[in-house]
Amino acid sequence: MKLGHADSYKKLKFNITYARKMKGITQIQLAERIGISRTHMSNIEAPNGSAGLSLDVLFDIADALEMPVAKLFDFRD
Predicted confidence (pLDDT) per residue in 40-72, tens digit: 999 999 988 777 789 999 999 999 999 999 999
> 77: pLDDT confidence band, cut at 50, 70 and 90?
low
Q: Residue 7's pLDDT is what?
A: 87
Q: Which CATH superfamily is domain 3-73 in?
A: lambda repressor-like DNA-binding domains (1.10.260.40)
Spans of all domains in the chain: 3-73
pLDDT (tens digit per residue) in 6-44: 888 899 999 999 999 999 999 999 999 999 999 999 999
Q: How many helices (H) and strands (E) does the chain have?
A: 4, 0
> What pLDDT does residue 69 have?
97
**Cβ distance 34 to 66 under 8 Å?**
no
Among 53, 35, 34, 33, which Cα is nearest to 43's?
53
Q: Say if residue 1's pLDDT is above 70.
A: no
